[in-house]
Amino acid sequence: MQQEQAGSGLLKFYSREALKAYLRKLMESYRAGIEAYAEQLGPLFRDEAQAKQARAASRGWMRLGPLLYNASETDRAVAEVMLQLMEELKAKLARTEEALRALEDPANTALPERGHFLLCMRQGVPERLILDMRERQVEPFAFAASFRLVEA
């Protein structure tokens, strides 16, 4: 299963609304990932006893260089990893929701509606927001002129 998520880096937005739209889309991606893992885990947990057993770490892990390798308890290992990934997505979702609430809070009037916002993402979680004052806001082009007739 693959989940499309933001990694780490700086993302640029030209309005608060565009930034909030990105965070909403990111949250939907996390929710979809959580739901997909839950659907795949459902058949593995036929009853509560199996769920508790799966939450216990598999004992079949061995080192393979920097990786952990498991060939003896495949179902349990898959359930263990999926549960861990689902918990990570839940934590990312919670942090992203918190960031969106902060942007939507009417008390945060220090942020302008338009500007150059740089969002620092670290491992798929919004961490810092920078209002880039170096770049001037591009104003829509307006042409104003006056004409007069000159006779020769």
Q: Which residue has the tokens 């495949």?
A: 74
Residue 14 confidence (pLDDT) above 50: yes
Query: What mean pLDDT is predicted for residues 93-104?
Result: 94
What count of other Cβ atoms lies within 10 Å of the Cβ of residue 98? 11
Q: What is the pLDDT of residues 22-49, one digit of tens each?
A: 999 999 999 999 999 998 888 777 655 5
How crowded is the C-beta side of 2, counted as CA atoms within 13 Å? 2
> What's the token pair of residue 84?
């861990």
> What's the token pair of residue 118?
């740089």
